[in-house]
Structure 1
């Protein structure tokens, strides 16, 4: 019996593999090696990036970002401490006591109409306010932190504001119902101050806690003008003080 395909007493030989297929296998092998080499190189670079210390530029960016977040990341009591020291021209050192912190943060409602366009055009993010009483509890002082996206925006806003902020057209008074300063309102504002540092402006205004209108006071007391800038300086001094980046902490993004 003869099987079909039996030729010259033996089985048919397999056909030789096409040359094109062998070439494709060689190319695929080369590409695999190249990809593996690229993967190893990428892993080495990534490992280096993860383990190297941050550069000076990265630290600067982290510092700027941390500063700009403080107005919302810090507890309100840290931004506005319980007491703020000040010095009178006569009488020595005294302390202002915080009596309340406002809940509203909208830029528009915290300042008079004449300042709103400037703050808005430079990207004002929020204005947070607190009211203090002087040591004798006769004066009320509202301090407001105006937050901007970065130092450049804050600087632009400062340049766009009047060189001298008037008490009657600056930060609005934060009245606190049920407190000693319940009657302190916009009409009672007598002196004002403003400071700029980093991504913040700090504005402050002062008047009598009993709410007596500034328009009815014939002679302003000089110490009001002495006290109000000291409060602004104290608040912005701690809020805008750069901190050394701690890139190992989740609070920092280096």
Structure 2
């Protein structure tokens, strides 16, 4: 056996550093095994962290559920709603009751303007025809003179006076309105009953005497033609006579005269009905106010 110089293996020794000298061949098997190991360690780290996070969230939710459900140390109160109303246990005390009887209907305005017994509100020419003007849409009428008399026949023309007297007219209130040379006088006659007022309307002949004054001259006098109308509401009958202040005769083509008669006649109707509404409202509120 020879003990000469140092003996070397038949193949050169491989370095453990895979990034050694360029003339040395890397150990690809070792590199793959190291990479797989690192990946396994990373995966287990993520799985472990996710499990801890999930456990923490579950704990938070459990605490929130216990808190909102009113749970605490007392197991008897766990899951109960502390704000739930308590039902009364003493049924011996009187309980509220509700009437099954429907309240009476409100009074009908027509009831108060149909008979003299119920139609007791004060009435005057200025309250029935208030203000200095009458506005209907875009039309403004200037109010002229007003008057009131218990001698109904004295404020009429033709046969109307006899008709009013026959049916027992108690009072006749008149007012005149004028616009652009067309004037109209409206007369409201009062009777004791609806039947009397309706009879006067049906038998009306002649007309209410026109009323001049307060800036409106005579009209519908002497030998001319004017538009006469009659109507009734409750115990009231009302009459209009409209025409030109110049004395011109009214024809069927004079739309302004017909419109003026319509506007003032409708106003009279509304004023009469308003009396009934006001008295009905007062009667409806009288029990509550002790009147």
Question: Which category of TM-score, normalised to the shorter sequence, fits these structures?
Answer: 0.5 to 0.7
Residue in 2 that maps onto 1:246 = 282
Structure 1 position 183, deviation (Å):
2.8
Structure 1 position 57, deviation (Å):
9.4
For 1:118 and 1:124, the matched residues in 2 are separated by 9
Describe the shift of the 1:63–1:113 C-alpha distance in structure 2 as closer, same or farther (beyond 3 A).
Answer: closer
Higher helix share: 1
Residue in 2 that maps onto 1:147 = 190
Describe the shift of the 1:63–1:149 C-alpha distance in structure 2 as closer, same or farther (beyond 3 A).
Answer: closer
Describe the shift of the 1:60–1:76 C-alpha distance in structure 2 as closer, same or farther (beyond 3 A).
Answer: closer
For residues 195-241 of structure 1, the C-alpha deviation after alignment (integer angstroms, 9 at most, x for no partner) is 2111111111112224x253xx7886222112202211111212234
Describe the shift of the 1:120–1:220 C-alpha distance in structure 2 as closer, same or farther (beyond 3 A).
Answer: same
Structure 1 position 150, deviation (Å):
1.8
8 Å contact from structure 2 (residues 176, 184) kept in 1: yes
Structure 2 segments unaligned to the other structure (5+ residues): 1-102
Aligned length: 178
For 1:237 and 1:185, the matched residues in 2 are separated by 25
- Larger of the two Rg values belongs to structure: 2
**Residue of 106, 114, 124 corresponding to 2:169:** 124
Residue in 2 that maps onto 1:206 = 242
Please report the RMSD computed on the Cα atoms of aligned residues, expressed in angstroms. 3.4
Describe the shift of the 1:133–1:238 C-alpha distance in structure 2 as closer, same or farther (beyond 3 A).
Answer: same
For 1:218 and 1:55, the matched residues in 2 are separated by 48
8 Å contact from structure 2 (residues 184, 260) kept in 1: no
Describe the shift of the 1:232–1:69 C-alpha distance in structure 2 as closer, same or farther (beyond 3 A).
Answer: farther
8 Å contact from structure 1 (residues 122, 153) kept in 2: yes
TM-score normalized by structure 2? 0.51
The structure whose RCO (Cα within 8 Å, separation 6+) is larger is: 1
For 2:208 and 2:261, the matched residues in 1 are separated by 12
For 2:254 and 2:108, the matched residues in 1 are separated by 49
